Amino acid sequence: MGKVLSKVESVCPTCLKKVMGQKVEYEDGVYLEKSCEEHGFFKTLIWEGKGYEDWGGIEKYTTPEILGSEVNKGCPYDCGICSEHRQETCCVLLEITNRCNLKCPICFASSNENIKEDISLQRIEEYYDYLMECGGPYNIQLSGGEPTLRDDLEKIIKMGRKKGFTFFQLNTNGIRIAEDENFIKRLVDAGLNTVFLQFDGLDDSAYLKLRGKKLLRTKLKAIENCKKAGVGVVLVPTVMQDVNVDQIGEIINFAIDNMPTIRGVHFQPVSFFGRYENRDDTYRITIPKMLKEIEKQTDKKMKVENFMEGGAENSYCSFHGNFLVNEDKTLRPLGSKSGCCGKPSSAKQSREFVAKQWSAVEVCCDEATENSCCCQEESTTSSCCSQSENTSPTKSLDDFLERFEKYNLAISAMLFQDAWNLDIDRVKQCYIHVVSEDKKLIPFCAYNLTSINNESLYRK
């Protein structure tokens, strides 16, 4: 018999009807157990090992000032958002196309299925106005599908800038960026801040399993072109057991080696919504598993205790840690002061941190040529890059602050919920929202909820 930790509201993975369940602790971890009168019993791992209750911090709730829906059926059916929601919006996904140049087996948006005409610039403008009315400006994630398939992407960014939005993130597989370096330069000129790059590993085996084709060379070229364009890159690996969990350390080391262009690594352990070929619970990766793998695969340069739970979002949705990368590639953990949303935090503070951390920083040296200076001639000794032979880059406060700005690496993970492990209490605290076609703000996990029969709660 396990120990019941708490009751929980969830949904049935088959019919998506609300059901009651409980979190139960066993020797090997914590499971969410629930039953549907029609479809039976479900049991899903949500935490490996001990320490579940110790992880959660004091949650900070903020009722959104502007609501878009009335409470009728209750969460997660009345999103829009309603008065039961307990956090303001941090970032907003605008899905500007459902076309894609890949057909990944695990696509949460089920891209390239039931292809629809891209939403018009006029409609996007209406979305921008709506978001401002709801309390914006928020951080904008341009998503899809593959948003780079739109030839008017520059116009979309410029329009948003004129409306008052200050941070634009491009969620992309990087194919078009790799093929056309002028394309990413145009987007940066239009006001793009960050490329959120799908990056599943450093060999093609992971891409074959997760994306259906070899893509490593494409990813590396995309990063090179982003560097030339002067835009920050965040690596976004989807992590699955028996696929690429053993590459976590390699990905982090790759990020360190390619700073300051790469600003962080944002791991996304697999969740079963949208299109997936095989829903096997053994593929799940929990917070403790991720943290232990990071510590092990970085040879304890990053330790479990260097990371902390989510801030403005629910504690069990994410973790994060920030590290100063010294000149010799050793790491200095920055503790509780760091992170995507330091705890306690507000959605506004989270927006500000992400915008600062993930955007490109000004560099005057070409890191790819052994730190040879691109802004000084050989005879120049007074440029911003000059440095006496025996001077350490962190021996003065100014040098330290400059290095802190450029070589502050963010390591984070977001564990999205699906119909099997959904905790409605967590949904109510979500601050990552998607704009629906009828102009409502839907929490990300609710918007993407998909039944075992591939029926969606909100995606129609």
Confirm if 173 and 200 have CB atoms less than 8 A apart. Answer: no
Look at residue 378 in the predicted model and tell me its pLDDT.
32
Look at residue 399 in the predicted model and tell me its pLDDT.
77
Q: Do 218 and 104 sit in the same domain of this protein? A: yes
Q: Do 50 and 102 sit in the same domain of this protein? A: no
Confirm if 52 and 2 have CB atoms less than 8 A apart. Answer: no
Cα–Cα distance for residue pair 86/313, rounded to 1 Å: 9
Query: What would the DSSP string read from start to end of 145-170?
Result: S-GGG-TTHHHHHHHHHHHT---EEE
Q: Do 220 and 272 sit in the same domain of this protein? A: yes
Token code pair at residue 428: 């109510």
Cα–Cα distance for residue pair 92/73, rounded to 1 Å: 24
Helices (H), 49-106: 52-55
Look at residue 287 in the predicted model and tell me its pLDDT.
96
Q: Is residue 60 part of a domain?
A: no
Q: Is residue 61 part of a domain?
A: no
Q: Do 119 and 182 sit in the same domain of this protein? A: yes
Cα–Cα distance for residue pair 213/49, rounded to 1 Å: 35
Residue among 200, 328, 193 nearest 256 (CA):
328
Mean pLDDT of 435-458: 92
| CATH code for position 194 | 3.20.20.70
User: Tens digit of pLDDT for each residue in 120-136?
Assistant: 999 999 999 999 999 99
Residue 376 has pLDDT above 80, yes or no: no
Q: Is residue 396 part of a domain?
A: no
Contacts of residue 242, defined as CB under 8 A and 6 or more positions apart, other chains included, come to 282, 283
Q: Is residue 294 part of a domain?
A: yes
Between 159-168, 302-311, 408-417, the lowest mean confidence (pLDDT) is in 302-311
Helix (H) or strand (E) holding 386: none
Q: Do 99 and 164 sit in the same domain of this protein? A: yes
For residue 284, the one-letter residue type is R
Q: Do 175 and 223 sit in the same domain of this protein? A: yes
| Domains in the chain, number | 2
Cα–Cα distance for residue pair 295/182, rounded to 1 Å: 39
Q: Is residue 392 part of a domain?
A: no
Q: Do 229 and 168 sit in the same domain of this protein? A: yes
Look at residue 393 in the predicted model and tell me its pLDDT.
46
Token code pair at residue 232: 């920050």
Q: Do 167 and 40 sit in the same domain of this protein? A: no
For residue 54, the one-letter residue type is D
Cα–Cα distance for residue pair 265/237, rounded to 1 Å: 8
Look at residue 166 in the predicted model and tell me its pLDDT.
95
Q: Do 146 and 8 sit in the same domain of this protein? A: no
- For residue 23, give its domain range: 3-55
Q: How far is CA 73 from CA 12, 19, 88, 306, 456, in A?
A: 16, 13, 21, 41, 17
Q: Is residue 104 part of a domain?
A: yes
User: Tens digit of pLDDT for each residue in 172-211?
Assistant: 999 999 999 999 999 999 999 999 999 999 999 999 999 9
Q: Do 179 and 34 sit in the same domain of this protein? A: no
User: Tens digit of pLDDT for each residue in 29-57?
Assistant: 999 999 999 999 999 999 999 999 999 87
Q: Is residue 186 part of a domain?
A: yes
Between 81-85, 145-149, 334-338, the lowest mean confidence (pLDDT) is in 334-338
Q: Do 262 and 316 sit in the same domain of this protein? A: yes
Q: Do 344 and 425 sit in the same domain of this protein? A: yes
Q: For the whole model, what pTM was predicted?
A: 0.89
With bands split at pLDDT 50, 70 and 90, how would you rate the model's confidence at 299? Answer: very high
Q: Is residue 116 part of a domain?
A: yes
Phi then psi dihedrals of residue 304, to 5 deg = -55, -40
